[in-house]
Copies of this chain bind each other. A is one copy, B any other.
Amino acid sequence: MRTSPMLEHLMEALRCLPGVGPKSAQRMAFHLLQRDRKGGLQLADALSKAMTEIGHCKECRTFTEEDVCNICNNPKRCENGLLCVVESPADIAALEATGQYSGRYFVLMGHLSPLDGIGPSDIGLDVLDFRLQRGDVTEVILATNPTVEGEATAHYIGELCREHGVSASRIAHGVPMGGELELVDGTTLSHSLLGRQKLS
């Protein structure tokens, strides 16, 4: 027998968050009730707003509450004619954090996976096709994940670019910075050899 059905319900609801099991949910609920009710209310407000109002950008399909996101809306971001294709909005955050890239993005929200019934139109390749037709993209950078599905998706989009006469490139695979060579797996090491660059 528990003391509060409402508290039980909150613990149950918290478990919709990834990585939160019964123990963490209990800790979170008690923490909010005991120490941060204001934070809890702000979270409730932010959640209900985000869940109802955030949709997808018409241009790049990333999450935004506007019709077109801040990046697609910025005229400076289309000057270099680059379009970076990624699998998820989290990848945009990672690439933006590098500060190395100043072009636009296109978010697939997944990858091709015929076995799961995910075809080209499910990952927005019809939208991408339309963008490539428009002619303001000079190079497509394929930054899908280095997994089997990611590689297949990159290959498919590469073909699409060739049809439109737009140059396509794939991000480099190789040994991660700061790692130790002996701990790197064989496939990665093969890629780092195949993709070696001339120093002189």
Contacts and interface: CB of A to CB of B under 8 A. Distances in A.
A89 interface: yes
Interface string A64-108: 111001110010000000000000111011001000000000000
Contact of A4 (B16, B63, B96): B63
A92 B1 contact: no
A109 B62 contact: no
Q: Taking the full assembly, how many copies of this chain does it contain?
A: 2
A179 interface: no
A1 B96 contact: yes
- Label chain A's interface by main secondary structure: helix
Contacts of A9: 46, 49-50
Given A26-B90, A50-B10, A16 B43 contact: yes
Size category of the A interface is 35 or more
Residue among A13, A17, A63, A93 having the largest count of chain B Cβ atoms under 10 Å = A17
A39 to B, nearest CB: 3
Q: Which 5 A-B pairs have the closest CB atoms?
A: A16-B39, A44-B47, A13-B46, A44-B48, A3-B69
Interface stretch (A28-36, A142-150, A160-168, A170-178): A28-36
A115 interface: no
Contacts of A53: 6
B90 A30 contact: yes
A40 interface: yes
Given A51-B40, A51-B41, A74-B1, A17 B6 contact: no
B54 A48 contact: no
A152 interface: no
A18 interface: yes
Given A13-B45, A17-B43, 13 more contacts: A1-B71, A3-B64, A3-B92, A4-B69, A4-B70, A5-B65, A17-B31, A19-B24, A19-B27, A30-B89, A43-B44, A44-B45, A44-B47
